[in-house]
Amino acid sequence: MDTGTHIVMGIALGGLATIDPAVQNDPTLFTAVLAGTVIGSHAPDFDTIFKLRNNATYIRHHRGASHSLPAIILWGFIVSGIIFLFVPEVNFFHLWLWTFIAVCLHVFVDLFNAYGTQAFRPFTSKWIALGFINTFDPYIFGLNVVFIIAWILGANPGITWAIIYAVIVLYYIKRYLDKREIREKIKEFYPNAIQIVTSPTMKQNYWRVAISTNNRFYVGTVENGHIEIIDEFEKVPLPDTPVMEAAKKDKNIASFLNFSPVYRWEITEFETFTEVRFIDLRYRSKDYYPFVAVVQLDRRLDIISSYAGWIFSEHKLKRKLLTEDA
């Protein structure tokens, strides 16, 4: 989920923590727990710091190790431990417990969007991306805000939380059923589909889909149950050539290939260099595929420049390639 949703979930969880008698009867512990749930609800995304290094490192590691099973345990201890240094008089167990729950909630909700996480590391490095909740869902965000307002106004936090989250659970079930219906309809038209990737949007009845068969890629939308295929590409295996082998050694390309399950590639020859481009087919937006990885190689197949990330125009991509090279 997005940062704003994680934060309101952390505040809501801090409100729920007041059902714990230890938290309810100790104002200092409540303040510490609220800090723990808010920080803990965002802690796994502290891997954003990798952006300071480069985009390749960020793409390779974001929602990876920081969202793994060992990291969930570590984040709970790290966040609560730091807070405990400032208020050593509070009950550490209750502080750790609610902070740990916040961290778990963060990783859990991230499983349901198209980006996904590597939440089951170290047992598997597979990306888990269930693809039926948008990264920012106004209903989930709004319901958490409703709980926070109700709690501030004096509503019973346990009962209010139970009602709000019962509605959220039903909403998740509804979105899952929507996704399943979409997949079933797609399989009616493409019975040989080997992979169907769904990407929900903020509009309830509007989805993006990417379909992979043995020899074709199809990119489209689903609106009110109507499937529209917008783009179609031949599925061509990566060639075993010196150019492609050199491209795959680039850090940006390697990060992209590690992350993207549905993509196409193209090689373009220019006068003084060769460009290899990989295009993620999950995120089509306004006639453009904004998530790409590009490497430019000279005639000796040395890397001139490369970039991986979100880009929304060719002009900006060229500027990024110059920046990354600099």
The number of domains in the chain is 3
Q: Are residues 278 and 313 in the same domain?
A: yes
Rounded Cα distance, 226 and 208, in Å: 12
Q: Are residues 150 and 22 in the same domain?
A: yes
CB atoms within 10 A of CB 70: 10
Residues 147 and 17 both lie in one domain: yes
pLDDT of residue 126: 84
pLDDT value of position 326: 44
Statement to judge: residues 168 and 258 lie in one domain: no
Per-residue pLDDT of the chain (326 residues; tens, 9 = 90+): 899 999 999 999 999 999 999 999 999 999 999 999 999 999 998 887 776 666 667 776 678 888 999 999 999 999 999 999 999 999 999 999 999 999 999 999 999 988 888 888 889 888 888 999 999 999 999 999 999 999 999 999 999 999 999 999 999 999 999 999 999 999 999 999 999 999 999 888 999 999 999 999 999 999 998 999 999 999 999 999 999 999 999 999 998 998 888 999 999 999 899 999 999 999 888 888 999 999 999 999 999 999 998 888 888 888 878 755 44
CA distance 6 to 50: 20
To which H or E segment does residue 244 belong? helix 242-248
Under 8 Å between Cβ of 39 and 127: no
Rounded-to-integer distance, Cα 127 and Cα 118, Å: 5
Do 44 and 94 fall into the same domain? yes
Q: Token match 């309830």: residue?
A: 204
Whether residue 122 is preceded by a cis peptide bond, meaning omega within 30 degrees of 0, is: yes
Domain boundary among 233, 261, 279: 233
Q: Which of 89, 107, 93 is CA-nearest to residue 36?
A: 93
For residue 223, give the CATH number of its domain: 3.10.450
d(CA 162, CA 150): 13
The parent domain of residue 224 ranges over 177-233
Query: Based on the domain organization, do 204 and 277 belong to the same domain?
Result: no
- Of the three residues 174, 198, 221, the one that is the final residue of a domain is 174
* pLDDT for the residue 140: 96
124 and 58, same structural domain? yes
Domain boundary among 233, 264, 281: 233
In this predicted structure, what is the pLDDT of residue 51?
A: 67
Instruction: Please tell me the predicted confidence (pLDDT) of residue 56.
Output: 67
Residues 6+ apart with CB under 8 A from 138: 202
* Nearest alpha-carbon partner for 278 in 257, 298, 296: 257
Q: Are residues 277 and 310 in the same domain?
A: yes
Query: Are the beta carbons of 297 and 284 closer than 8 angstroms?
Result: no
Dist. CA 261–CA 199, nearest whole Å: 13
User: Same structural domain for residues 219 and 295?
Assistant: no
Q: Is 210 helix (H, G, I), strand (E, B) or coil?
A: strand
Q: Are 169 and 57 found together in one domain? A: yes
| Partners of 234 in the β-ladder | 216
Return all residues near 194 (Cβ < 8 A) that are at least 6 apart.
212, 213, 214
The verdict on 11 and 86 lying in the same domain is: yes
Residue 258 DSSP class: H
CB-based contacts of 265, cutoff 8 Å, min separation 6: 236, 238, 276, 277, 278, 279
Three-state secondary structure call for residue 56: helix
CA–CA gap between residue 78 and residue 46 (Å, rounded): 12
Specify whether 58 is located in the same domain as 166: yes
